[in-house]
Amino acid sequence: MISLNDHPLMTVNNENQISLSSNFKATKMSIELIIRDQIVEAIESCYEQKIDQKLVQLQNTRKEFEGDITLVVFPFVRMSKKSPEQTAADIGDYLQKNVAEVEKYNVVKGFLNLVISTDYWISVLNEAASDLKYGITEPTGSSKLVMVEYSSPNTNKPLHLGHIRNNLLGFSLSEILKANGNKVIKTNIVNDRGIHICKSMYAWEMWGNGQTPENTGIKGDHLVGNFYVRFDQEYKKEIAALIEQGETSENAEQNAPSILGAREMLLKWEAKDPEVLELWKMMNQWVYAGFDITYKALGVDFDKIYYESETYLYGKDEVLRGLREGVFYQQEDSSVWADLTAEGLDQKILLRSDGTSVYMTQDIGTARERFQDYPINKMIYVVGNEQNYHFQVLSILLDKLGFEFGKGLHHFSYGMVELPQGKMKSREGTVVDADDLMAEMIEVSRKTSEELGKLEGYSPEQAAITYKMIALGALKYFMLKVDPKKNMLFNPEESIDFNGNTGPFIQYTYARIRSVLRKAEDKGIILNPHIEAEIQPGLKELQLIKTVSQFPVAVKEAGDNYSPALVANYVYELVKDFNQFYHEFPMIAEENSELRNLRLVLAETIGKTIKTGMKLLGIDVPERM
């Protein structure tokens, strides 16, 4: 049996990258649909067999072979009762005779390579050049409404490196879903209550000495995060002291003064104690002000923000309703549980014995409120893969409670971000804060740009803006080019390289294209955006047009697969192809005016496509660099 992965026409994915040839079904969706339909007709005409279109496997032809679209012939050999080569020839003859766009074909073993006519590719370029929103499908009145939840911070610490990947994935996914014709609501759930919040509050009350962001000059979320770390330090000291006095480790952890104080504070908060509520509101406001600064710097936003302090009450109502209706059960200590053994899972606590709720309770309440607030067709949670079990349970519980949307929830599960020195821990203060990382990236961008002389002649203000644009482009692209499902290792210096698969390399290529177009304008060259069919582009121009034509498919597949990496790596392939062309062929200096016009229109269209693709990733591109 022949393995398709062993054949030279097939591409095996790199460990961390999405392979274009394995994920893009064809160079142009319309030509793919035409050919797919005609192949079904060809099988019926040649072999008197009716087939399902799913049997038709099309892909881009590998660059080392002549052709544009390749058909895998092996599924049809049993129908033809001929060799793979002869079967491919039969189908190729039919297509060449019946599809005007198929100019010729060749056969490599069991693979049929179809060459699409130059006229067709010129029409594709004209379409792409004239369409200001090429590759983007605008929402309509009948479009589906998708809600995407991302960020989900806790108000006991600042946003860190892990939050950065979450926010960038959530924002980019939202933009990609919009580009696929969906209405999108970007939402955030702020985890602003619970024992972890009370730990920061208790620490401030015990050791804060009246510190505020104003009198310390410390950003609010960082200040509160410092007290979360302080709590853990003092708690560990107390545990050690109790163990030294003869307590068991378990008893020491349960009865240390700090944890008892935090638990008492949580009970007072749920009882609406005025003093505790006032402290809670004050410290949360410090955190929200800090978050707003970070979100703005990162370039992400939200259409609606929910707060756990409000939604958990709705969740408790639903859990108690489920208890009354026999969906859940109560243990002797008054805690409320769900029995999920019939679903192959375990018992899940929903309310503790003291009546306080858990994360699951809050998520039940938040889901109920969202579907009451909006006519949502699809709910997507952007949350790390350590929460896979949580969202599996949430879906089941909502379904048990009678919510029709329960089974349709989608957990966008992504891998963790690690640093060369290993995993981060908030309570131990070993996280990389988002603000510190962005500041470091801007500094690395400045040093790298100065060493390479990239921004010579810029005013200090222009340079500062561009340093930040390069830094954030490097950070975002490095995070988004990796398959979301995979864990990743983040290296700031590697991400800011001006060569290779990086944001700055793509940004520099865009700036290069804009420079070429400005020089053409300075020389009085006026572009004719409509290319006549009579012109004969070379193989390199044709290859670039074909790559441009893949952009709408990349956007669609990124939406279908919830993978910004497909857009990121498409843009890189486009940029790589353009740079090779730029170094090998003259543009402004080309003497043939028609060929020069074609190359400049192609460059302008590529620049527009780069800008659109990077915008879907939340990345700006500079006009000069």
The tens digit of pLDDT for each residue in 62-84 reads 988 999 999 999 999 999 999 99
What are the pLDDT digits (tens) for 396-413? Answer: 999 999 999 999 999 999
At residue 15, does pLDDT exceed 70? no
With tokens 């490599």, the residue in question is 108
In the predicted model, what is the mean pLDDT of the chain?
90
What percent of the chain is predicted at pLDDT more than 70?
93
Q: What share of the chain is helix, strand, coil (3-state, %, to 5)?
A: 55, 10, 30
68: buried, middle or exposed (CB in 10 Å: 19+, 13-18, 0-12)?
A: buried
Q: What is the pLDDT of residue 421?
A: 61
Q: What is the pLDDT of residue 60?
A: 87
Residue 135's nearest CA partner among 574, 621, 510, 612 is 612
Residues 6+ apart with CB under 8 A from 361: 312, 315, 316, 319, 350, 351
Which pTM does this prediction carry? 0.88
Question: Which of 4-8, 13-17, 139-143, 327-331 is least confident?
Answer: 4-8
Distance CA 614, CA 299 (A): 13
Domain with CATH 3.30.1360.70 in the chain: 4-116
Residue 528's nearest CA partner among 433, 464, 597 is 597
What are the pLDDT digits (tens) for 37-61? Answer: 999 999 999 999 999 988 999 998 9
CATH fold of 150-418 reads: Rossmann fold (3.40.50)
CATH fold of 440-616 reads: Isoleucyl-tRNA Synthetase; Domain 1 (1.10.730)
Domain with CATH 3.40.50.620 in the chain: 150-418
Distance CA 520, CA 288 (A): 49
DSSP notation for 211-279: --HHHH---HHHHHHHHHHHHHHHHHHHHHHHHHTT--HHHHHHH-HHHHHHHHHHHHHHTT-HHHHHH
Please give the angle made by the CA atoms of 333, 337 and 338, to the nearest 5 degrees.
Answer: 160
Residue 618 Ramachandran class (φ > 0 left, ψ -120 to 50 alpha, else beta): left
Task: Give the strands of the sheet with 183-190, arranged side by side.
Answer: 304-307, 183-190, 145-149, 378-384, 410-414
Question: Which of 26-30, 82-86, 142-146 is least confident?
Answer: 26-30
Please state the φ and ψ torsions of residue 614, each to the nearest 5 degrees: -70, -35
Q: Are 269 and 276 in contact, with CB atoms under 8 Å apart?
A: yes
For domain 4-116, the CATH architecture is 2-Layer Sandwich (3.30)
Domain with CATH 1.10.730.10 in the chain: 440-616
